[in-house]
Amino acid sequence: MKAEDLLRRYLEQRREMGETELVLDGLSVDEVMKLVGIKRGGRAAPVERARPLIAESDIRGSVGEPASSGWRDALPAVPAVPEAPSAATPRPPRSAPFAEQVAAEVATPSAPKAPAAPGLVVGSADGERIPGEIGAATDLVQLAELIRRCTRCDLYKTATNAVPGEGNPHAGFMCVGEAPGAQEDATGRPFYGQAGLLLTKILQAVNLSREEVFILNVLKHRPPGNRNPLPEEVSACRPYLVRQVALVAPKVILALGTFAAQSLLETKLSIGKLRGSVHRYHGIPVIVTYHPAALLRNPAWKRPTWEDVQLARRILDGASA
Ligand code: SF4
């Protein structure tokens, strides 16, 4: 792919993620120089690619699932400039699992965190009555069957499989993403590609396995071409989400990425404004963090993601104590 196309795709992804400022951490200096027509020594600068901070081998390996070729999983295709290692906290080898990388980084002393501020409140803590057979479903299996034969919006027409969600039906920790990607559509399982493997490692970093949590998306069928969900699709699919949350009754919800957070919290606020607060969805605490695919693309977001996940873990621990 041409450098211009890479840069365009990079910028589009950053805008989609709610970024208003840009740090060019995905292109080498020489590559940017070439893009803006700056010549070095009177000749066009050769394009040199920096290595990604999170190597593909870091993401594969510890989990026996295949890598994905979906759009979210294509994000690491534009490599990122490695961060300079700190003298105080040497970075572990690049082949180390993600959890070890994060664990090493958070060993860096940091200022004590102020208590998380209260955030948005969506729905009543008493719950919401969902009419019809969705509201009448008494367990997740019944609900999954309804999702598989759902025609409430047109997405079922182009999707291969419904992706109802999976995990512990009594999980204290729930992860909510946006919508299935290509691998999820092909398998019927949520967070199945590279981003899913990274999510597994993030959960492991706070001592949670995928089997312990419940993972689902706001939309249960894949939007064609992985386009953004339409408001009417989110609205049509909302009763399933409300019912799933009510049946699992988690102690905390981790909203992954801008669209999941905005859909769940019914807001247009950027992820930057939503992070760091404890929101409420039908009475359940919601913590917002970056989507794992965004994390693959932007290593600088590892630390804030780690802080968000730790906050969610503390809420879970506090509720379970
Ligand atoms: S995306 Fe949701 S509302 Fe649309 S068809 Fe699938 S399950 Fe039904």
Greater model confidence, 143 or 14: 143
For residue 279, list its beta bridge partners: 286
Q: Whole-prediction pTM value?
A: 0.70
Tell me the pLDDT tens digit for each residue of 246-257. 999 999 999 999
pLDDT for 118 equals: 83
CA of 269 to the centre of ligand 1 (A): 25
Give per-residue pLDDT as tens, 154-200: 999 999 999 999 999 999 999 999 999 999 999 999 999 899 999 99
Residues enclosing ligand 1, CB less than 6 A?
147, 150, 152-153, 155-156, 219-221, 233, 236-237, 240
The DSSP symbol for 243 reads: H
Distance (angstroms) between ligand 1 centre and the Cα of 150 equals 6
Strand 43-44 and strand 117-122: pairing?
unpaired
> 81 with 241: CB under 8 angstroms?
no
Across the range 57-83, mean pLDDT stands at 32
**Ligand 1 centre and the CA of 223: distance in Å?**
10
pLDDT at 12 over 80: no
pLDDT, position 51: 36
* Ligand 1 atom index nearest CA of 236: 3
Q: For the chain, list the domains and their CATH numbers.
A: 1-50 (no CATH), 117-320 (3.40.470.10)
Lowest-pLDDT range of 97-101, 223-227, 242-246: 97-101
Mutate to test the pocket of ligand 1, among 156, 178, 216 (most ligand atoms within 8 A of CB): 156
Phi, psi of 278 (to 5 degrees): -100, 105
Give the pLDDT confidence of 23-57 residue by residue, as tens digits: 454 455 566 566 656 555 544 444 444 333 333 33
Mutation test residue for ligand 1: of 148, 163, 233, the one with most atoms within 8 Å of CB: 233
Q: Rounded CA gap, 17 and 293, in Å?
A: 11
